[in-house]
Amino acid sequence: MTNQIVAGVSVEGDSAQFVVLKSGELKTELFFIEEYKRTDYDKSETWFLKPLTTHSSKLTEKCKVVSIALDRKMVFTHTFPMDSMLTRDQQNEHLNWELSQLLPNFHPQDYISDMHVLQVHPDKKTNYILSVSVKRSLVYAIHDYIHTSSLNLNIIDATQFAAEGALLYNYPEILTQECVLVGLSQTHTEFSHYSNGHLTDYNFRQEANLEFIARFLHVFIKDKNIKDIFIHGPNADIGTLKTLRTGTSLNVQILNPFKRITHSLSVRNFDKFATSLQRFAPAVGIALRKP
């Protein structure tokens, strides 16, 4: 396996996280880490890519590829049952109908959507589907910005699903057990259930209250053999950890996206983020993602 050097960018509210990773057969190494705060002058929808220009000399000498993890506010996620006997064209028609019921003035040509099968129910000839949709205009704007920075766009995904890459890489034990990944934002919360490393359930709640999250976790994991719950995001701090452990009596831990990743001696600012490494989970995860 040849070494792959990729920049990962994630967006969370008004901040953007940047990493550059070198992934090889034996190890993964961090070459660059930084966080950028949006200012009043950042009016563009691609404001989070600005540091690609600011740090272009540091980035382009090490990598040519960028992967992006978008904030939940920039994408639309939806879960629904679908007839497993449908053709691909029929699946797309079903998805477009679902989205038309939920998005005002929806036009299929305005969105790029992807579908993932969460659960298969052969007895009912039904699949439980997760769809992720992003505006085509935003994807094109990201592509154009990255291209003008002499870089290539690799992957675009949502932060919650990008963080999956950091989870699977740094905690390989979950490949043989069940766990839940919780994305804690200041305005909402996302819940992902994994069984043997595969995403099998997803839920989103426009709620950030910890008491609500603790109660909902009990509902979300009902009838599931959960070993661990990992939290990440802006609200995933020690205080939140203690509250959720007390409120759920479960093994809750903060996701460390650098647990099995070394960092180059050239990275002199790593300690600055020592108490907020979990915020970089989507950036690390998307950088680890293979095309």
Range 25-58 burial, b when 16+ CB lie within 10 A, else e: eeebbbbbbbbbeeeeeeeeebbbbbbbeebeee
CATH of the domain at 123: 3.30.1490.300
**Domain boundaries, position 122:** 74-133
244 and 180 share one domain = yes
Residues 6 or more apart from 102 whose CB is under 8 A from it? 76, 78
Using the 3D structure, point to which of 113, 133, 153 is the last residue of a domain. Answer: 133
160 and 59 share one domain = yes
Most confident option among 17-21, 49-53, 54-58: 17-21
Greater confidence (53 vs 2) lies with: 53
Write the pLDDT tens digit of every residue in 97-152.
999 999 999 999 999 999 999 999 999 999 999 999 999 999 999 999 999 988 89
116 and 96 share one domain = yes
82 and 43 share one domain = no
68 and 151 share one domain = yes
Q: How far apart are the first and last CA of the chain?
A: 15
Tokens of residue 155, six digits: 């992957």
128 and 219 share one domain = no
pLDDT of 175: 96
Structural domain count of the chain: 3
Separation between Cα atoms, residue 140 and residue 91, nearest integer Å: 25
Position 81 confidence tier, pLDDT thresholds 50, 70, 90: very high
279 and 145 share one domain = yes
Look up the pTM and report it: 0.94
Separation between Cα atoms, residue 101 and residue 19, nearest integer Å: 38
pLDDT of 80: 98
Position 253 confidence tier, pLDDT thresholds 50, 70, 90: very high
pLDDT of 57: 64
Tokens of residue 55, six digits: 């740090």
**3-state secondary structure at position 243:** helix
CATH of the domain at 199: 3.30.420.40
Write the pLDDT tens digit of every residue in 169-203.
999 999 999 999 999 999 999 999 999 999 999 99
Residue 205 has pLDDT above 90, yes or no: yes
Position 59 confidence tier, pLDDT thresholds 50, 70, 90: low
